[in-house]
Structure 1
Amino acid sequence: MDRFEDMRNFVRVVERKSFTKAAADLLIPRATMTNSIQRLEDRLGTRLLERTTRTVNTTHDGAAYYQRCVRILADLDDADTSFTNPDPKGLLRVNLQGTLARTFVIPAISGFRERYPGIDLVIADGDRYVDLVHEGFDCVLRSGDLASSSMIGRRVALMREVTIASPDYITRFGMPQCFDDLETQGHQMVCFLSGADDKPIPLDFVVDGKVRNIILPASISVTGADSYAACAAAGLGLIQVPRYRVADDLKAGKLVEILPDCPPEPMPVSVLYPQNRQLSTRVRVFVDWLSDLFARTEF
C-alpha cells in the first residue's frame, strides 16, 4: 500500500469519524484501515487521531495534515484525469431529495449506468439536512434556496411553483382574489420546517413584479414533502409546491390553484458538495448528467 492510499484512508476516517464506516466506504477490512493509519502515524512521527469508544477526532497535527491531504489528493486526481482521461470508476454515494429522485432521477438512472458502467452507485433519499463530509456522501441534490455556506452549489434546474388548497378548504375559507385577502380572510398555511434549525418557510408571491413573503397561522407543521402535500389534500391549509407534483390533482379538481396571477418564485434545484475539495471525476460526471437530465425536463 503506497503513501497516497494511506492518505486517502486517513481523509476518509477523519470525515466519517469512524474506522469502521471509513473501511466500509472504501471496501477494505477494518484491520487494513487501522494498519494504514498506524503506518501513517509512524512515518510522520506524530499522533494524527484521538480515538474514543464512540468517535474519532483529529489532533492538532491531524487537523493540519488533513487539510494538506485533501489538497494533495485533489491535485493528484486532477493530474491523472488530465493525462489519462480514464473512464471513471469506483463507489459514488449520493443523497437525493425524495420526490426528485422518484420522479426524475431513478427512472433515468439506467442511462447513467450504461454510460459509466465502472461507477457503483449508493443512493439515499430524503428531505433532511445532510452533513456530506461526516455522513460520507459525495454530493447531495436538493430543491430550494441554498443556506449552508460550507457547501458549493451548482444549480441544475428551476421548477415552476404553485399555491394550492383543497376544495373543502376553499369552501370554508373562501377563494382569495388578491394577496391582501390572505390575511383579511383569515387563511391558514401548512407550515413546512426546513434546514438544520427547523425554521418555518414563508409563502412567497410575486405581486406587481416584487416578491412578498407571508407566514400565515398554522395548526400543523411538517418536515417532509409527502406529508406537506397530504396536509393540503386534507384541507389543513395552503401550501406551495412544484407544479409537476400536483398537476394531475389540479386537472382532476382534487386540488385548487390559489392566486395564479401572483405565483411563487421558481424553486431552484441544486447539487451540493463540500467547498474544501476539488470534484472527483465520478462526482463531476454525475453532476453533468443531472444537469443534462433536468435541462431536458419540462417542469
Structure 2
Amino acid sequence: MDRLDELQVFLAILDAGSMSAAAQKLRRSPSAITRSLATLEERVGLRLFERSTRRLTAIGEGLRLAEQARRLLADYEGAISEHDAAVPRGLLRVTAPMVFGRRHMAPVVTRFLMRYPEIQVELVLGDRNMDLIENGIDVALRIGPLDSSGLVARRVGEVRRMTVASPAYLAQHGEPATPEDLGRHELILGTAVRGLAEWRYRTGEREHIVRFTPRLRLNDIEGVLNAARAGFGIAQALSYQAAPDLQAGSLVRLLSAYEPEALPVHLVFPSARHMAPRVRAFVDFAVEELGQLPLIRQP
C-alpha cells in the first residue's frame, strides 16, 4: 500500500473515531482499514491508538504523528496543485511533413510561442514518419491512416489527393474526362512515398487504377508542382500542397468526381497520461488553429 495512503487512512480513523466509520468515509472494507493501521503501527514501531469497545482514541505518539501527517499531506497536495496549474515551460519537440510544416505548422508554432513565453520549440520537418519515442518527439502531425502504434491521436481535419495540370497544358492536350483518359497524357510521378507507378480513383464502389510509365519522376512535391506549372504534364498532390496554385490559377483541379476518400490529419503523441503542461497546451492550441484551415477541410 502507498505510504501516503496509510497516513490518509490513519487521519480518517482519527477524525471519524472508529475504523468502521473511517471505512465508510473512504468507501473501503473494514478489513482493509484494519490492515492499513496495523501496517502503519508496525512501520513506526508504536501503538497509535487506545482501543475501547466503542471508540479509538489517539495517544501522544498518535497525535504527534497526526500533526506531521497533516502537514506532509498538505505539502503533497500543494505540490500537485502547483504542478497542475504551472505555466507551461521547457523544450517541446514537434515534427510535421515538409510542405505542411513549412506553410502551416511553423506559423502555428510561432503563434504558440508568442502566447507561452517560457516554452522553446524545436520543429523537425520531414516526410518520413519518425519514431516519437526513439527520437524524443513530443507531438507529430500525421497525414493518412494511422497504424496501431499505441500513440494517442487528436484529429484536426482531412486533406484530399488531387489531380492537377496547368491551363497551358490543358489548352494544348485537352482535359481528361475520366481516369481512363489519363493514358493519353503525360503524367508526372511523385516518388516521396514509394510504391507502384499508379494512381487510384473511385466512383461509388468502383475503383479505377491507372498504371503508367512516367518519363519524369521526382521525390520532392515542389519539383512535381514546378513541372506541372511549366506545362510538362499532369500531376497529383495533396490539397494543402496544391492550394496556392489552385487559388492563383497556375494549376487546375481535374477529375474531382473521381477523387478517392479524403485522408485524415491527426496530431499524435505518446501518451495522454501524465502529459507535461507544455505538451497539453500545444496540442489544444494546435488542434484549434489547424482545424480552422480551409485547405484541410476541402470538399
Contact 1:187 1:217 in 2 (8 A): no
Shift of 1:293: 0.5
For structure 1, list consecutive stretches of 5 or more residues without a partner in the other structure.
Answer: 1-78
| Amino acid in structure 1 at the alignment position of 2:137 | F
Q: Which residue of 1 aligns with 2:103?
A: 103
Q: Which residue of 1 aligns with 2:281?
A: 285
Q: Which residue of 2 aligns with 1:65?
A: none
Shift of 1:169: 4.1
Q: 1:251 to 1:86 in 2, by over 3 A?
A: closer
Contact 2:86 2:277 in 1 (8 A): no
Counterparts of 1:91 and 1:118 in 2: how far apart (Å)?
9
Q: Which residue of 2 aligns with 1:191?
A: 190
Q: 1:205 to 1:94 in 2, by over 3 A?
A: same
Counterparts of 2:207 and 2:154 in 1: how far apart (Å)?
23
Counterparts of 2:261 and 2:159 in 1: how far apart (Å)?
9
Q: 1:209 to 1:292 in 2, by over 3 A?
A: farther
Counterparts of 1:229 and 1:270 in 2: how far apart (Å)?
25
Counterparts of 2:282 and 2:276 in 1: how far apart (Å)?
10
- TM-score, normalising length from structure 2? 0.60
Contact 2:127 2:192 in 1 (8 A): no
Matching of residues 1-299 of structure 1 within 5 Å:
80=80, 84-147=84-147, 149=149, 151-170=151-170, 173-183=173-183, 185=184, 188-194=187-193, 198-200=194-196, 202-208=198-204, 212-274=208-270, 279-299=275-295
CA deviation digits over 1:33-59, x for unaligned, max 9?
xxxxxxxxxxxxxxxxxxxxxxxxxxx
- TM-score, normalising length from structure 1? 0.60
Q: 1:191 to 1:181 in 2, by over 3 A?
A: same
Q: Which residue of 2 aligns with 1:58?
A: none
Counterparts of 1:272 and 1:257 in 2: how far apart (Å)?
30
Contact 2:203 2:258 in 1 (8 A): yes
Shift of 1:173: 4.9
SS for the counterpart of 1:199 is: coil
| Amino acid in structure 1 at the alignment position of 2:123 | I
Shift of 1:94: 0.9
SS for the counterpart of 1:134 is: coil
Contact 1:92 1:120 in 2 (8 A): yes
Shift of 1:237: 4.0
| Amino acid in structure 2 at the alignment position of 1:246 | A
Shift of 1:139: 1.9
Counterparts of 2:82 and 2:210 in 1: how far apart (Å)?
50
Shift of 1:298: 1.4
Counterparts of 1:229 and 1:105 in 2: how far apart (Å)?
21
Counterparts of 1:122 and 1:227 in 2: how far apart (Å)?
26
SS for the counterpart of 2:284 is: helix
CA deviation digits over 1:161-192, x for unaligned, max 9?
42102345435654211122224x35534133
| Amino acid in structure 1 at the alignment position of 2:202 | V
Q: 1:147 to 1:215 in 2, by over 3 A?
A: farther
CA deviation digits over 1:229-280, x for unaligned, max 9?
2232244543332334434433554222211322343232222333697643
| Amino acid in structure 2 at the alignment position of 1:270 | H
Q: 1:259 to 1:150 in 2, by over 3 A?
A: same
User: What is the Cα-based RMSD across aligned positions, in Å?
Assistant: 3.3
Q: 1:253 to 1:294 in 2, by over 3 A?
A: closer
The 10-residue stretch of structure 1 (223-232 or 80-89) with the greater mean CA deviation from structure 2: 80-89
Q: 1:236 to 1:144 in 2, by over 3 A?
A: farther
Counterparts of 1:236 and 1:212 in 2: how far apart (Å)?
24
| Amino acid in structure 2 at the alignment position of 1:144 | G
For structure 2, list consecutive stretches of 5 or more residues without a partner in the other structure.
Answer: 1-78
Counterparts of 1:189 and 1:93 in 2: how far apart (Å)?
35
Aligned length: 217
Contact 2:197 2:212 in 1 (8 A): no
> Identity over the aligned pairs, expressed in percent?
30
Counterparts of 1:202 and 1:291 in 2: how far apart (Å)?
33
| Amino acid in structure 2 at the alignment position of 1:182 | L
